[in-house]
Amino acid sequence: MTVALATTWYPRGELDRLLRLIPRLREWYRHRVIVLPPDQDVKLLQALGDSGAFNIRVAADWADGRYLALSAAVETGADYIHYADLDRLIRWAETREGELIRTLERLQTVDCLMIGRTAQAFATHPRALRATETVINSIFSRLLGQPLDLPSGSKGLSRQAARFLIANTRPGHGLGGDAEWPVLLCRAGFTLTRFDVDGLDWETADRYLDGPADERLQREAAGVYDAIAENWAHRVSVAQGIIDAGIDAWLRPLQAVSEEKPE
């Protein structure tokens, strides 16, 4: 069985760390798709292209990023797809490689692996994120009938599940896919399998560093984040968008997906 990486990346100083990870990414993923926002630095694009490790796409609209990443990963023909926000994946690979490898093994056994954060990982996030994301998780855990962590930035999908999502979603929902994807899959009869990890602790403190932030830097950065009122307002807006996308996915008609013809 083959696994493709589908990832979106808004670069904030992680390039060197990503390039150092390439040998391991080649081991773990048969295909590696990166979707970038528009107006990227030419040198960054050149470095990625020179590595030969990635299928690089640039989104005309950043809200289309996750949809484009999933679509491109399906096009590779992989049996399974690991969607991950790249900044989170970089930190995960640097700090808990063994756990990431076990996760990739597990995702090849189910249709939808809902990769969530342990209590320890969740606690590293600023209060603004924890407060708003707890609301998201409370709403959709009740709706979907099991406790889940939706806004973790990482999910595993079988090829069948991914093809269903491409047929039943559209570009432009951005982070709304955190709720939209599992709601649609649940409605279609796919099983959502929870799998919590420590490696999805808060990644934003790593920005513009040469490696992952330690616990002290995480705490300090979280405190600074929470002290800015605009960040709370932003997280409320993000949460509302995710909730709206999930409710829309619960209500709209589903499209059937035809069987793939063997080559």
Per-residue pLDDT tens digits for 209-260: 999 999 999 999 999 999 999 999 999 999 999 999 999 999 999 999 988 8
User: What's the pLDDT score for residue 184?
Assistant: 98
How many angstroms separate the Cα of 67 from the Cα of each of 55, 78, 106, 128, 164?
Answer: 15, 16, 23, 27, 12
User: What's the pLDDT score for residue 258?
Assistant: 85
Q: How do residues 16-71 score in pLDDT, each as one tens digit?
A: 999 999 999 999 999 999 999 998 899 999 999 999 999 999 999 999 999 999 99
Q: Hey, what domains does the chain have and what are their CATH numbers?
A: 3-251 (3.90.550.10)
User: What's the pLDDT score for residue 260?
Assistant: 83
> What gap in Å lies between CA 179 and CA 130, rounded to an integer?
16
Tokens (6 digits) for 61: 């609209």
Whole-model pTM: value is: 0.96
Mean predicted confidence (pLDDT) in 130-138: 99
* Residue carrying structure tokens 């997906």: 257
Other residues' Cβ atoms within 10 Å of the Cβ of residue 109: 12
User: What's the pLDDT score for residue 262?
Assistant: 66
> What gap in Å lies between CA 172 and CA 95, rounded to an integer?
32
* Residue carrying structure tokens 């990486």: 5
Largest CA distance in the chain: 56
- Looking at every residue in the chain, the average pLDDT score rounds to 97
> What gap in Å lies between CA 246 and CA 181, rounded to an integer?
8
User: What's the pLDDT score for residue 62?
Assistant: 95
**Residue 64 · residue 170 · CB < 8 Å:** no
Q: What percent of the chain has pLDDT over 70?
A: 99
How many angstroms separate the Cα of 258 from the Cα of each of 62, 162, 184, 255, 261?
Answer: 29, 13, 17, 10, 9
